[in-house]
Amino acid sequence: MFDTHCHLNFKAFEGRVEEVIDNAKKAGINSIVVPGTDLESSKKAVEISERFDQVYAAVGIHPHHVFEIQSNNDSGQAGMTKEMQEIEKLLTHKKVVAIGEIGLDRHYYNKTKYPDYKIDESFLELQKDFLRKQIELAIKYKKSIIFHNREARKDFLETLTDYRSLITDYRCVFHCCEPDQALLEYAIRHKIFIGVDGDITYRKDKQEFIKTVPLKMLVLETDSPLLLPIQLRGDNKRRPANEPKNLKLIADFIAEIIGIKVETLEKITVENSGKLFKIV
């Protein structure tokens, strides 16, 4: 199987990456893409991909982390130019298959390392600038794109539409896609994959949504260490980090609710993921 979105580059996995990849292999997860969320985690993703054959990297600045660049620079624009030069350097690495995760995010995070985090129009404008610049880089270097969108559908689809004619079919994914028919319709029309995670095991709206997603648009992801499937949640206090080996639970769950054999689901999603990242 193929975990198309897993943050082995996050602190939760420090000193455990080898073990986690081993466990994944034993569970039949043979390919993993590690997306970056800022410069540091993008570099880390590349480093991990160099050490393990079955791991690939994506590099990019997540909209949440655009806040840091806005706060650290007199002008967000100057900060952006610097960050984009660094991302561009990483993009030429042979294990970097995509730019990501990039997008727009209007969600107010309770747990964030930025104490004065707030979402206003100037912040959203800078997020859009980052999104546009990174789409342009993906086009320039012929990389796939991992899109993150949270509570910003209108602006997100408008920004994408500006570039639509330049983005290649079947080379983008709406990762952890919100259960929103407008997003799905856009994805079907423009041949964009839909990423589904472990939160489907406890979110009724996502369980209904999956029944409307064509199989040829579906890819699986754990978003580890986040979004632990409900079967593993146990008591709240000692919740373990999610891992790519748990992808199997997501596949079993989806196969059951859409009424197909899990082997079929696994085969199709692996093919879809290979197509998405141009990995055969």
Show binding-site residues: 5, 7, 101, 148, 175, 223
- Tallying the residues shown for the chain, one arrives at 280
Name the residue number minimizing CB distance to Zn ion: 148
**Least CB distance from residue 176 to Zn ion, whole Å?**
5
Q: Which residues are annotated as a binding site for a divalent metal cation?
A: 5, 7, 101, 148, 175, 223
User: How distant is the alpha carbon of residue 34 from its chain centre?
Assistant: 8
Question: Of 34, 176, 204, 171, which is closest to residue 105 (Cα–Cα)?
Answer: 176
**Least CB distance from residue 75 to Zn ion, whole Å?**
26
For Zn ion (CB under 5 A), the number of binding residues is 2
Question: Parallel, antiparallel, or unpaired for β 193-196 and 144-150?
Answer: unpaired
- Return the HEC string of 211-247: CCCCHHHEEECCCECCCCCHHHCCCHHHCCCCCHHHH
Residue 64 is a binding residue for Zn ion (CB under 5 A): no
Residue 44 is a binding residue for Zn ion (CB under 5 A): no
Residue 128 is a binding residue for Zn ion (CB under 5 A): no
CA atoms within 13 A on the CB side of 263: 0
Give the range of 26-34, 75-83, 98-106, 112-120 binding Zn ion by CB under 5 A: 98-106
Give the range of 20-28, 94-102, 124-132, 206-214 binding Zn ion by CB under 5 A: 94-102
Is the bond leading into 101 cis (omega within 30 degrees of zero)?
yes
Can you tell me the distance from the alpha carbon of 145 to that of 198, in angstroms, rounded to the nearest whole number?
21
**Least CB distance from residue 10 to Zn ion, whole Å?**
9
For Zn ion, which residue of 95, 128, 143, 148 counts as binding (CB under 5 A)?
Answer: 148
- Is 46 buried (19+), middle (13-18) or exposed (0-12) by CB count in 10 A? buried
Tokens of 45: 């993703």
Can you tell me the distance from the alpha carbon of 226 to that of 8, in angstroms, rounded to the nearest whole number?
11
**Least CB distance from residue 199 to Zn ion, whole Å?**
12
Site map 206..225 versus Zn ion, x via CB under 5 A: --------------------
**Least CB distance from residue 114 to Zn ion, whole Å?**
17
Closer residue to Zn ion (CB): 3 or 101:
101
**Least CB distance from residue 133 to Zn ion, whole Å?**
18
Task: Give the binding site for Zn ion (CB under 5 A).
Answer: 101, 148
